[in-house]
A and B are shown apart, each in its own frame.
Chain A
Amino acid sequence: MRVRTANAIVAGVIAFLALAPLMVALVASLTPDARLFDAPSAAAVRLVGDHYRALFAERAFWVPIRNSLIVATATTILALALGAPCAYALARWRFRGRGAVLALVLAMSMFPQISVVPPLFLLLRAVGLIDTYPGLVLPYLTFAMPLAVWFLVTVFRQLPVEIEEAAMMDGASRFTTFRRIALPLAAPGLVTTGLLTFLYCWNEFLFALTFTLGPERHTVPVAIALFRGQYQVPWGEVLAAALVATTPIALLVLAAQRRLVSGLTSGGVKG
């Protein structure tokens, strides 16, 4: 009984630490500006949706949401389409230097993003893609593709190799085996990898800040970071925007946390 109480207390503390900042923001985003400057109190506050209304009516917050959805979705699809064959080759094809290629892939996803900003900017400027959707998808692929390859190699390695050997015995080519056998079997892993890639793209800031010029092409994180009021920080609207940006992520984590966690840790630590 004592152990159970202790566990409940520990669980409560963890949940509080993880969620308290979000709860504070939620309450503040629903508090009218005039009341926001009062000391926080437990007394009943009239909650209003003014900040959320202003966010969409006056600040056209749906524009960055649209931009983020387009860029993140396009990057995820391309990263999976390009990454799956790469990952399959690395998982199944034995050749000298395979370890080195895998190491390179892992290293790529950990390089400082700023170190590829100069060439990407010059390239995008030369071909006129600054401030366009392709001008964001292309830079995003530099981190999204290695990430997808890295996770998918683990996914393909966990598939039983016998089924693929049987298919090839029956005369299927390497590519047919990949397309008709391995890919459908790897579907759950592809979904998890897609979710993780989408999450990284949705959250990305530096590239979006550097390669877009105005509100018309800003993604959600950039739009929120550059939020300005006329005289002071419009905290109510800023926090409302932050929570709107959080909602899809929170849903995603709740829906797929078990698979996200196992995907992350298997790609990261275990062999």
Chain B
Amino acid sequence: MTEPEQSYELATARLEEIIRRLDSGEAGLRETLDLVKEGRTLVEYCAGELEAVSQGLDEIKLDELIARLEAQSPEGE
């Protein structure tokens, strides 16, 4: 069984859902603690995604990328 693919938009959508539930004040103590734990995991994931596109612009020409990929590809494959 594979886990559903995570994405920034899915993570932020779930995070918003969690905060709405918490802010409603309807969650009990156990649910609140579970939601907070899940929310913090999502925040970490999202922060990682933002960090990945904040490392500084990395520009490469398509020809060079193809050449690099072909060089990496094992011969005969």
- Binding partners A and B: no
